[in-house]
Structures are given as C-alpha cells and as structure tokens.
C-alpha cells in the first residue's frame, strides 16, 4: 500500500507543478482576447454637395483626390484614391480627372471627376494603402474596408478627407468629416453618416458602416 500511495503522491505533485505553467502561458492570452474586439469600418458612399468650382469651367463638377482613415488606440490604417496631394500626374487632365471607376494604368493615380449630388461608391474607386514612409500597396478596387483591433469600451476615429485639385491656385478642401464613437460591446452592425455643409467650394455626405465581431 505504501508503494501505491507514493505513486499517487508523485503524480499529484507533478500535476500541481504543471498548473502554474499552464496559467502563465494561457492566462494572459485569454485575458487579451477577452479585452479586445475586432472592428470593421466599411466606407460606403461619397456624395459631393454644394459644389462651386466655376474657376475650372463647369461649376458643378470637380477633379478630386481623397483619403479614408480609421484608428483605435491599438491600430490605424488609411486608404487613398487619386494621388494624395494631386501632383505628379502628367498623364491626367487636371481640370477633368479620370472616371471614378477607370482602371487603365494611366488613370489609377489620377484625380477623379465627380458631379454635384451624385453618389460615388467607395468600393468602385481604385485605392491604395500607405504601408510606410513613401511606400504603398498597388491600386485595387473593393479596398474600402479597414479592419482593426480595439479595446472593449474604447473609441474609434473615422475620417474622410477629399480635396479638389486646382491648377492655378491652392487645392480646395471640399470634404473633411470626422466621427469619434465608442466601440460597441459584443457583436454589432450599424450604418453612420457624416456631413459637411458647403464651405463655398463644396461639401459632402459620407456613409460608412461599423461592424464589431
């Protein structure tokens, strides 16, 4: 009997010694997973409003470039359509730009020709992603979603900036809209809108979705 008890004691000690190791390796990972959530921001549409670009000929149209941004305390990312800054595009007609959906290599970095009050889906415009100082991914469509990690109960910042390219004067900011909202707890999905009244050059309506899972 003594031999059998000794074997059980040895097995129990081995199990007890193993428990702290399991807690140290598994506990923090489980706690981190429990304390964060995944957030997907889907940029849906851009609508120019109150456009006044008569200096370029057609008062209700303009050639624009833009940047989409989403960020939390843990991560952030951006997308660009047209070349941010609107310069270095010798193949483009700077007063007209290219079509919103044009995929020809010479058109990818061009400003996009837009008309007042039309709805332009972000999924259809070629975009690129900044990945470092002066570095970018290739251009592609259906790049209108940004997926980030976020702390439960924290906030997420969503921003869209669009500028009208002008040849003879400074470029005009025609859409600068930002929302900072609380990250919903648990699984959720909702549609949000951002609005900028015309500043004399133009304004905008932007629609986006926010999904947590």
Go through the domains of the chain in sequence order and give each one's CATH number.
36-212 (2.60.40)
How far is Cα 182 from Cα 185, in angstroms, rounded to an integer?
9
Closest CA to 138 of 126, 123, 122: 126
Which of helix, strand or coil describes residue 161?
strand
Q: In the prediction, which pLDDT does 33 show?
A: 52
Neighbours of 74 (CB within 10 A): 13
pLDDT (tens, 9 = 90+) of the chain, 213 residues, equals: 434 444 443 443 344 333 333 233 333 333 335 589 999 999 999 999 999 987 545 689 999 999 999 999 999 999 999 988 776 565 677 778 899 999 998 889 899 999 999 999 999 999 999 998 889 999 999 999 999 999 988 999 999 999 998 877 888 999 999 999 999 888 999 999 999 999 999 999 999 999 999
In this prediction the pTM is 0.81
Backbone angles phi, psi at 28, to 5 degrees: -60, -40
Structure tokens at 73: 């305390």
> How many angstroms separate the Cα of 143 from the Cα of each of 2, 137, 195, 197?
70, 11, 22, 27
């Amino acid at each position: 009997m003594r031999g059998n008890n000794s074997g059980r004691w040895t097995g129990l000690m081995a199990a007890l010694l193993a428990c702290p190791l399991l807690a140290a390796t598994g506990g923090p990972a489980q706690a981190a997973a429990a304390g964060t959530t995944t957030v997907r921001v889907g940029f849906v549409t851009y609508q120019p409003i109150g456009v006044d670009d008569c200096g370029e000929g057609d008062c209700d149209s303009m050639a624009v470039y833009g940047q989409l941004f989403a960020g939390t305390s843990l991560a952030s990312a951006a997308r660009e359509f047209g070349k941010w800054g609107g310069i270095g595009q010798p193949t483009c007609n700077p007063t007209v730009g290219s079509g919103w959906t044009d995929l020809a290599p010479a058109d990818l970095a061009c400003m996009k020709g837009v008309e007042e009050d039309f709805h332009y889906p972000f999924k259809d415009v070629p975009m690129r992603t900044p990945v470092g100082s002066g570095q970018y991914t290739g251009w592609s469509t259906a790049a209108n979603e940004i997926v980030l990690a976020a702390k439960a109960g924290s906030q997420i910042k969503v921003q869209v900036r669009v500028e009208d390219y002008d040849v003879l004067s400074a470029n005009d900011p025609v859409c600068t809209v930002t929302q900072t909202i609380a990250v919903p707890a648990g699984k959720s999905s909702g549609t949000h809108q951002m609005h900028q009244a015309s500043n004399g050059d133009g304004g905008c309506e932007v629609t986006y979705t926010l999904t947590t899972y």
